[in-house]
Each structure stands twice: as C-alpha cells, then as structure tokens.
Amino acid sequence: MKLFFLFLLALLTINLTNASLNLDKGKMEYSLKIGEESCQIVSLTSDDYEGTIKVRDVWAENQNEDENLNKYTFFASNHKITIKYIDTILDFNDRIDFEVCLTADKSGGFKGALIFTPDAKTNVVVEIGTWLIVNVEETTLINPISSGESRSGSGD
C-alpha cells in the first residue's frame, strides 16, 4: 500500500511539472509616436495544458525600475497608455496567436509585463510572461511652407 501511494505521488509530481506554457517572445518592444497605435503578435503554446488562461498587464513606476515584478504595481493608465488584448482565453488548447496593441498619450520610456496565468485546480500556480518595453516619442509637426518659399502681403 505504501508503495502505491509513493507511485501515485510520483505520477502527480510528474504531471504538475510537465504542464507548461511557452511564449515565443521574452520581450515585446514598441516604438511609437503619441497617439499612434502599434500592434504585435505573441504566440502562446502548450503540449499538455488545456483550459482557461487569465491575462493581465503590470507596469513599473518609472523606466529605471529593475526587473523585480514585486515593484510593478502601476497600471498602463498611470502612464497614459492604452493597451488592448484578450484578458481571458477560454478553452485554450495547443496554441493561440495573441495580439497586443498599445497607444500612448504621453512621451517617455515605460516598462511593463504581460502575465499569463493558467486556471489552476490546485494552490500551485505557475505564471508565464513577456516584458513590454515601450518608447513613445513626441509627434513632430511638419511646417507646410518649405524654407525656400516666401510669402508677400503686397497684393500686386
């Protein structure tokens, strides 16, 4: 009987450690101008996980923040960033190509992360994520009058 329980425990441990999610990108870099939307695709795959996956984003207070996720307590809106993605993947099985779109209303450099959390039936939850590195530039206005032209106010 004791041998049976050890075998069952080993089998459960193998199943828990083998269930994994994989992302094709460790980071997603966005370079955009104020008001411009930029979208990228990230692929989430798994050979053995099926079910629901919750998705959320977290942001650092400033660009110089290190990569300690405990310090990523801001929202995209704190930086005047609008981020669009599917926040819940229902019936995940095998692979999904996932679009992430950003628009910003403020210039600067921003760091965030997109976190994928499988719906765990246990207290053990293993999340996977990708870094979001965002550079937003001011929109430059182009003067419609070239420097070689001149205008005169004399009505000749």
Lowest mean pLDDT segment, chosen from 23-27, 69-73, 89-93, 132-136:
69-73
Partner residues linked to 22 by β-bridges = 45
For 96, the token pair is 């999904």
- Using an 8 Å Cβ cutoff, are 128 and 24 in contact? no
Is the backbone of residue 75 left (phi > 0), alpha (psi -120 to 50) or beta?
Answer: beta
Q: Is the pTM of this model over 0.85?
A: no
For 41, the token pair is 């695709």
Cα 135 to Cα 79: distance, rounded to the nearest angstrom? 12
The model's pLDDT over 18-60, given as tens digits with 9 standing for 90+, comes to: 458 899 999 999 999 999 999 999 999 998 888 999 999 999 9
